[in-house]
Amino acid sequence: MEIPRHWRLRQQRYGLVGETCPHCDAKLFPPRDVCPHCGGEAKHPYTFKGHGTVYSYTVMHDVPAGFEEQSPYTVALVKLDEGPLVTAQLTDLGQEPVEIGMPVEMVTRKIRSDGSGRGMLVYGYKFRPVLK
Ligand SMILES: [Zn+2]
């Protein structure tokens, strides 16, 4: 019973996998098995393309333990091309100012160092500006 659950968590961490509703074709993220649009059962996995635009963002100066080396960092609400909003850290910003409506794409990056001192790194998805 543990394996499918673990697999599912891994899918969420390394790719943007949600669900698609067979009744109204809505794309859901995160996966919730019930479509919020029509109330139907939605259990078909759907991998998002990982493209979207910045819907809103916040610069975080007061960072939680394990994130210090990345301070300050920017967390954005990204509106995916398929519709859902996803919260993620922005990366590779360089000198470019973050703007509402800026096109971004998903990348897999180090999220934080494990605070235990064992040097374990935790990876996950972030978004970066689409290179012109
Ligand atoms: Zn639906």
24-80 pLDDT, tens digit per residue, is 999 998 888 999 999 999 989 999 999 999 999 998 887 777 777 767 789 999 999
- Determine the 3-state secondary structure of 4 from DSSP: helix
As a whole number of angstroms, the distance between CA 52 and CA 102 comes to 8
Q: What is residue 118's predicted lDDT score, i.e. its pLDDT? A: 56
Give distance in angstroms: CA of 125 to centre of ligand 1. 26
Answer positive or negative: Cα dihedral of 108, 111, 113, 116: negative
Give distance in angstroms: CA of 37 to centre of ligand 1. 5
- Tokens coding 93: 């910003």
Give distance in angstroms: CA of 109 to centre of ligand 1. 32
Mean pLDDT of 82-106: 90
Q: What is residue 122's predicted lDDT score, i.e. its pLDDT? A: 60
Contact 63, 99 (CB under 8 A): no
| 5 — pLDDT class (breaks 50, 70, 90) | low
Q: Which of 4-8, 17-21, 85-89, 96-100 has the lowest mean pLDDT?
A: 4-8
Q: What is residue 78's predicted lDDT score, i.e. its pLDDT? A: 94
Inform me whether the pLDDT recorded for 1 exceeds 50.
no
Q: What is the pTM of this model?
A: 0.74
Give distance in angstroms: CA of 26 to centre of ligand 1. 5
- Determine the 3-state secondary structure of 39 from DSSP: coil
Residue 45: is the preceding peptide bond cis (ω within 30°)?
no
Give distance in angstroms: CA of 20 to centre of ligand 1. 8
Give distance in angstroms: CA of 54 to centre of ligand 1. 25
Give distance in angstroms: CA of 27 to centre of ligand 1. 8
Give distance in angstroms: CA of 24 to centre of ligand 1. 4
Give distance in angstroms: CA of 43 to centre of ligand 1. 11
